A and B are shown apart, each in its own frame.
Chain A
Amino acid sequence: MAGRARLVAQGVAIGLVALLFVLLVWALATDEGGDLAGAAARGERPAAPDFTLERLDEEGELSLSSLQGKAVVVNVWASWCGPCKEEAPYLEQVWRRNRARGLVVVGLDAKDFRRDARNFMRRYELTFPVVYDGPGDTLPGWGVTGFPETFVLDRRGRVVESFAGAVSSDEDRARLRAAVDSALES
């Protein structure tokens, strides 16, 4: 009887260790923490993770994958972020100048109030599509560590360039224009 009890206890202990191991493997396998910026800087053109998020500029949802075939600028922002205010008018310009060539600018508003985000869009007269990710669940997959961050994707959904911080200096704006041209030509 004692031997059987010991076997049961050993079985439970081994089961718990196995469960912890499975959880560890699962956590590692599903870790979407990406370093898109680093990979793009090395010229690797990593595939951008897809998302399907609620739209703020109109009703419904927008999937990144639905824009396949177009070059895309994904701009991660929030209404409480100061540098986001600096670059918003410039991104609107980029969108207006290049949309006929097949470029879509997508604003990804994260960790923000919907109402504040809509006020921001009105204030800066943003007309490009904006999606909402309140909890910020999309951000780790993109390797976003701060606000704002901007990614330029080619027509095949691969990241060709990224910007940590506002695209506000002349140098950054020239780099963005070059990346957009490169993405449109892909």
Chain B
Amino acid sequence: MRALALVVACAAALTVPAWAAEPPNAPDLEAELVCPVCETTLDQSNAPVAQRMKLFIRERIAAGDSEQEIKDALVAQFGPGVLATPRKSGFGLLAWALPLAALAAGALIVGVLVRSWSRRRTPSSPETPLDPELERRVDEELARYEG
């Protein structure tokens, strides 16, 4: 059992650095970054600035930068608008949280309204008594039927 644990630990030690050292993929990054002139993602733009940014990405990948380092470098030049999706921290977190909050608020409102309507449909007063004349006729008919 101890030997098995040792093998697993060695395998993990060998695997993790290999995974961590995997360089970022240029096409993936180009799909996650926006051309500041044409406002489309870099992979869909041939604008001169987009071509320059693609070249920058390839240079940084060759230099060994991580995906996050490349994004940070571009944000430092062009601002956070260069990211196709907002960051999941700071002010950018609002862009992720607000739709969920709106969804929750909508569900709450619908729930409250459904509850309110379903209560309104339940009878709130006992059945109204039959008209005495009608009751008499029903009794007569029943008696005739039973007789």
Chain A minimum-CB-distance residue to B80:
A135
Which of A109-117, A153-161, A168-176 is near enough to bind chain B? A109-117
- With A9-B113, A135-B81: A2-B120 Cβ-Cβ less than 8 Å: yes
Residues of B with C-beta under 8 A to A13: 109
Query: How close is B87's CB to chain A, nearest CB, in angstroms?
Result: 15
Given contacts A6-B116, A12-B109, contact A111 B37 (CB under 8 A): yes
**Which segment of B2-10, B48-56, B134-142 sits at the interface?**
B48-56
- Within 8 Å CB of B105, what residues of A? 12, 16
Q: Chain B at the A interface: mostly helix, strand, loop or mixed?
A: helix
B52 touches A113 (CB 8 A): yes
Q: Which chain B positions have C-beta within 8 A of A136?
A: 36
Tell me the chain A residues, 1-42 only, with Cβ under 8 Å from chain B.
1-3, 5-6, 8-9, 12-13, 16
Tell whether B77 is near chain A: CB-to-CB under 8 Å.
yes
Interface residues in B84-139 by Cβ distance below 8 A to A read 105, 108-109, 112-113, 115-116, 119-120
Are B116's CB and A112's CB within 8 A?
no
Q: Residues 15-59 of chain B: 1 if any A CB is under 8 Å from the residue's CB, otherwise 0?
A: 000000000000000000000110000000000110110001000
Q: Which residues of A contact B48 (CB under 8 A)?
A: 80-82
Q: Are A8 and B112 in contact (CB under 8 A)?
A: yes
Cα–Cα, bound, A137→B56 (Å) = 22
Task: Verify A113–B109 contact, CB threshold 8 A.
Answer: no
A134-B79 contact given A2-B119, A12-B105, A113-B52, CB 8 Å threshold: yes
The interface on chain B, measured as residues whose beta carbon lies within 8 A of the other chain's beta carbons, has a size of 22
State how many residues of chain A have any CB contact under 8 Å with chain B: 23
Residue of B nearest to A117 (CB): B77
> Which residue of the partner chain A has the closest CB to B76?
A134
Partner pick for B79 among A112, A113, A114, A135, CB 8 A cutoff: A135
A72 interfacial contact with B, CB 8 Å: no
**CB of A136 to closest CB in B, whole Å:** 6
Residue in A3, A9, A80, A112 whose CB lies within 8 Å of B109: A9
Against B, the Cβ 8 Å flags (1 = close, 0 = not) of A125-155 are 0000000001111000000000000000000
Asked whether A78 is an interface residue with its Cβ less than 8 Å from the other chain, the reply is yes
Q: In the bound complex, what is the Cα–Cα distance between A3 and B124 (angstroms)?
A: 14
Cα A80 to Cα B36 in complex, Å, equals 12
With A8-B112, A9-B116 as known contacts, state yes or no: A80 contacts B77, CB within 8 Å: no
Task: Find chain A residues with CB under 8 A from B112 CB.
Answer: 5-6, 8-9
Other contacts beyond A2-B119, A9-B116, A134-B77: 4, CB < 8 A: A1-B119, A12-B108, A16-B105, A113-B56
28 contacts between A and B (CB under 8 A): A2-B115, A2-B116, A2-B119, A3-B116, A5-B115, A5-B116, A6-B112, A6-B116, A8-B112, A9-B109, A9-B112, A9-B113, A9-B116, A12-B105, A12-B108, A12-B109, A13-B109, A80-B49, A80-B51, A80-B52, A81-B48, A111-B78, A112-B77, A113-B77, A134-B76, A134-B79, A135-B78, A135-B79
